Structure 1
Amino acid sequence: MSDHPRGAVTESNHHQPPPPSLLAQSRRGATYLILLQVGSRALTFVVNQVLLRFLSPELLGISTQLDLYSNSALFFARESLRVALQRQEDTSDPLEAEGIKVNRNASQPKTQSNKAQEVVNLSYLAIALGLPLATIFASLYLRNADVVVLGTPAIRPSLYLYCLATVLELFSEPCFAVAQQQMLYGVRASAETLATFTRCLVTCGTVIWASNVNVTLGALPFAVGQMAYAVVLNLVYLSRLNIFTPDKAYSLLIKPIVPSSPALLYDRFSLPRLNLAFTIYAQSIFKHLLTTGDSFLIAAFTSLESQGAYTLAANYGGLVARLVFQPIEETSRSLFGRLLHQSASPTGNAAAQSEKLTRQQGDQTATYLRFLLRFYLLICTIVVTIGPSFSPLLLHVVAGSRWSDSDAASVLAAYCYYIPLLAVNGILEAFVSAAATPEELRVQSAWMIAFSAAFVGTGFLLLHVGDLGAQGLVVANAVNMLCRIAWSWHFVEGHLCRRGADLNFAAALPRVGTVMYACGTAWYLSRLELVLGGSLLQLGQGVVAAGSCGLIT
């Protein structure tokens, strides 16, 4: 019998891609999450169009504030734990992909069920952390809210209901942790899709009912919709994960992990995972401040017009990152964690097997990362080729001529060149979060302080001294992102080199012919007057050129 671990490749097949089961699950997971992102945003757009007929802009603004309150509490309560819990050893096959039936007998190894129990136990820390955070954030919101907000009908019941919904949503974390650890993305997609649909239906239904009976509810419909989301999310997760199945190999409640280990706190919580989560938590706070740093910078050094132009450009330019890149990065982080932390079977020569497995893990990971980088760069080639020329047309269609004739068009065009940096940095940092030790993550955080200083310095020079407005902020963000890419690239190459693998970035680059054709297409499009007032022939030429660029890549 072969002593190779399941899913590994033999030495003769040294450069084969990762095991089909892992790749298939990761690909399916990315598809699910992309569809989830697109569907949820489409539903939100439709709901907003309906609500515009019944609610004032002020109420929509208050609902945005309440969403920000809930998302902030959820982010600080669970984000670091979610990242830490994805780094689990892949010591046996995942649970059956979508049926989730678990039937084990005493003679079968229980390592995988112990891993599932470990992530369940740790996920309860998010609940324990979320309870005080939701309360504190609610108190801060009421203390700092504008007088107009506090005078809105039912604002306090709305906030309290949001608080309760936030806590209730955190109670789904044990189920989320199991689904994520077992790569059961279909379970997550079905739960979040149904919950999102229910929230939209309940919110619209409540608003329409209140309008028909002439009752003023303020922001309460949004709070009721959020509560419906949390309830449905928990119900779907529990039903799909068969919590009441008596033969389940793990429990969705906290229970001791057998056998006991010195690495377990109270026989329930993994100390290495807690240490990692704490490091990631500190880093996530810092990253969150960096993410909002551009808002402070542009508010300090630019006009209101430039602030509006940058906000609009960032919202539209970031759609590709939010809809495509973010789901892929999330599933890839899980896959990297499994590929880099697989355990060898306890047979054969332990040292030789460990060395072989380490080399195989490096090759598998490098192959997958190289494939993702090539995929990203091909998408970004299309974006950079057609995006700058189509920016005025896009803004004219979706925002009107007032925006297409403003600085927003040039800012959005500049943002198109920033998107490839977002893409590459996202996938490299997904690798870092899956592979780095707590000490290496602390080193990364220290470097980020230097990168943020470079960002602020560049932004000051371009915005305050150079008076470049929102375009200068895009350049400053690009400088910061290049610094982060350089550090992550150095880490990835070093990590793979220690495993005897080579990333071979040249193989991820688009072909020379593709680049030349893209440059020619970009030049051709720049010669066209791509605005709605232009001729239909010019517009048609632009569409054909853009489509041909997409096909040739």
Structure 2
Amino acid sequence: MVLQVRSFSFIRRAIIVLFQLVFRVLTFVLNAFVLRFISQDVLGIVNWLLTLLYTTVLFISREAFRRACLSKTSEVKWKETVNILWLSVPICAVFSCLLGFIWTFYLDQPDSAVIPHYPLAVAAFALSALIEMMAEPLYIMAQIMLYVRLKVVIEGVALALRCVLTVALVTFTPHLGLINFAVAQISFTAAYCVMYYVYFIYLLSTSEELPVRSFTDILPSFLDKGVMFNRGLMQLTWSFFKQSFLKQLLTEGERFVMTFFNVLSFGDQGVYDVINNLGSLVARFVFLPLEDASYLFFSQSLKRGKPACEQDESNLALCTSVLEALLKVVTLIGLTFLTFGFSYSYLLLDIYGGTTLSGGNGPLLLRWYCAYVLLLALNGISECFTFATMSQTEVDRYNHKMLIFSVVFLFSSWFFTQFLGSVGFILANCLNMSARITHSLIYTWKYFKQSQSDPLRGAAISPLVLGLFAITFIVTFFSEKLLCCTIGWVYRLLHIAIGAICLLCIILAIYFKENKFINFVETQYRLKYKQH
């Protein structure tokens, strides 16, 4: 299987982000419309409780298979990969039933007289995860063949369909309550699955570049000597599978704490979820696409488990430059959100949700989340490189460390919430991310120690740019105190204008002071332009 990964850089991802932005903005606007038609309790149940069920089933069922099957292993054939991937479907079915049972009979349920059909909604969200898993082999094939735009379009169309359908249902049949969201969720995953199959059936009849020649080659089958699975790939998948439990616990820890320990009511969970979604927009729009592309790039360019001195020199040099650029760009984005988020959180929440969100501790939550965004940015890229180059033994060792991180995270979540309420969840996440970043950076430093490369040093931000971020923070802080947000829209617009001027100054400083980074971006853009 020949893969052309050299041209696959984060610059190319910018185009993909643009497509995602269009679909996500539509989703964002439609969700804001839905908020006007449902109660806070329904919001909390759907966006918190039911979504947690859906994401947990999916993450546990497919994360390990994605990590293992996208790794560069020359001894693994496509048929072996297909057989491994189809194991994710029965695993998903088991966890859908198991977690669906727990959600239905062991967790607190809403009053059926006020919010009916909760068990039916649980069954629908669990079933939707199983439907989505049916397309997993095709998703992996698309990733291996670098059909990144396909993923963006299919997910974008499916999300838009879900949002439009949700708006229509809650507008015209509000009395159905949770059934509206169940129907929209099933429609979303069904459309997602059908689009993948339709596209690949069409591609099989018109293209010869795929690693399969017929639809039956996508289905599981016996290999030579009656064997179905590659032992090495199975062992790597099992290592990632054990890790996926801990990673999900760390990623969704605050949701589990709220869900199983009843820290917040359904209504409070709904408000927290809105703040969480607003705060994580940049993670979904920018960081997650970059992380997906980065992991694929590093895993296909470097041999897993081999030190830097044993890698191909040209591949290592390219990966060093890409890692350095990625760390720098996500750090700059994170610093931007930290700097401006503190002074513009209240204004954003007041515009988006009125006093329902801007009143109380909503702005404080969003300010802390902006600090968390910076840590999310660094953790995502650093872990992508770490997981793409770790050997199976190193992955197993890291699983033990993840167990320690999980225990510390759960304890800190419980401890901080006792004194700080919902802000404690964000602080616990910050502590968790800091520990994971530290581990990844130490691993990266050791990985490159025996080579001539040092991407961590190259990713450092210019002191002038850092100083400008600090000055901007102070300027916008006083701008908010003097101009925002109770003395009219003219002053609000002036506050926004001051922020825009500061942002422009930061962009100019980056352009003139981060020369190596800018030159790398321009070079990659020119290479991509020549290829087209």
TM, length-normalised to structure 2: 0.79
Match of 1:254 in 2: 220
| Alpha-carbon contact 1:377-1:509 (below 8 Å) kept | no
More helix by share: 2
Match of 1:227 in 2: 186
Q: Is 1:415 paired with 2:375? A: no
Q: Is 1:283 paired with 2:246? A: no
Letter in 2 for 1:518: F
Pairing partner for 1:395 from 317, 334, 349: 349
Match of 1:84 in 2: 68
Q: Is 1:22 paired with 2:8? A: yes
Q: What SS is found at the alignment partner of 2:484? A: coil
Segment of structure 1 superposing worse, 405-414 or 327-336: 405-414
Q: Distance in 1 between the 2:233 and 2:402 partners?
A: 23
Q: Is 1:510 paired with 2:443? A: no
Match of 1:540 in 2: 497
| Alpha-carbon contact 2:376-2:433 (below 8 Å) kept | yes
Q: Tell me how many residue pairs correspond in the alignment.
A: 490
Match of 2:434 in 1: 482
TM, length-normalised to structure 1: 0.76
* Alpha-carbon distance, 1:329 to partner: 0.7
Q: Distance in 1 between the 2:155 and 2:264 partners?
A: 39
| Alpha-carbon contact 1:30-1:327 (below 8 Å) kept | no
Q: Distance in 2 between the 1:298 and 1:206 partners?
A: 28
| Alpha-carbon contact 1:307-1:470 (below 8 Å) kept | no
Letter in 2 for 1:497: K
Match of 1:552 in 2: 509
Deviations along 1:69-110, one digit per CA (max 9) or x if unpaired, are 333222221121112211134x7xxxxxxxxxxxxxxxxxxx
Q: Is 1:185 paired with 2:185? A: no
Percent of aligned pairs sharing the same letter: 26
Go from structure 1 to structure 2 and tell me whether the alpha carbon gap of 1:175 and 1:293 turns closer, same or farther (over 3 Å shift): closer
Q: Distance in 2 between the 1:303 and 1:132 partners?
A: 29
| Alpha-carbon contact 2:303-2:311 (below 8 Å) kept | no
* Alpha-carbon distance, 1:203 to partner: 3.9
| Alpha-carbon contact 2:379-2:436 (below 8 Å) kept | yes
Letter in 2 for 1:334: L
Q: What SS is found at the alignment partner of 1:245? A: helix
| Alpha-carbon contact 2:72-2:302 (below 8 Å) kept | no
Segment of structure 1 superposing worse, 540-549 or 175-184: 540-549
Go from structure 1 to structure 2 and tell me whether the alpha carbon gap of 1:497 and 1:269 turns closer, same or farther (over 3 Å shift): farther
* Alpha-carbon distance, 1:507 to partner: 1.9
Q: Distance in 1 between the 2:36 and 2:363 partners?
A: 29
Q: Distance in 2 between the 1:373 and 1:82 partners?
A: 23
Match of 1:44 in 2: 27
* Alpha-carbon distance, 1:336 to partner: 0.8
Q: Any unmatched runs of 5+ in structure 2?
A: 511-532
Q: What SS is found at the alignment partner of 2:87? A: helix
| Alpha-carbon contact 1:127-1:170 (below 8 Å) kept | yes
Q: Any unmatched runs of 5+ in structure 1?
A: 8-17, 92-110, 344-353
| Alpha-carbon contact 1:40-1:196 (below 8 Å) kept | yes
Match of 1:334 in 2: 296
* Alpha-carbon distance, 1:316 to partner: 3.0
| Alpha-carbon contact 1:363-1:501 (below 8 Å) kept | no
| Alpha-carbon contact 1:203-1:225 (below 8 Å) kept | yes
Go from structure 1 to structure 2 and tell me whether the alpha carbon gap of 1:449 and 1:355 turns closer, same or farther (over 3 Å shift): closer
Q: 5 Å matches for 1:139-218?
A: 139-144=101-106, 146=109, 148-149=111-112, 155=118, 157-207=120-170, 210=173, 216-218=175-177
* Alpha-carbon distance, 1:33 to partner: 5.3
Deviations along 1:395-433, one digit per CA (max 9) or x if unpaired, are 332343465464443443333333222211111111122
Letter in 1 for 2:189: A
Segment of structure 1 superposing worse, 136-145 or 50-59: 50-59
Deviations along 1:487-507, one digit per CA (max 9) or x if unpaired, are 111111222335x35224232
Letter in 2 for 1:116: W
Letter in 1 for 2:281: L
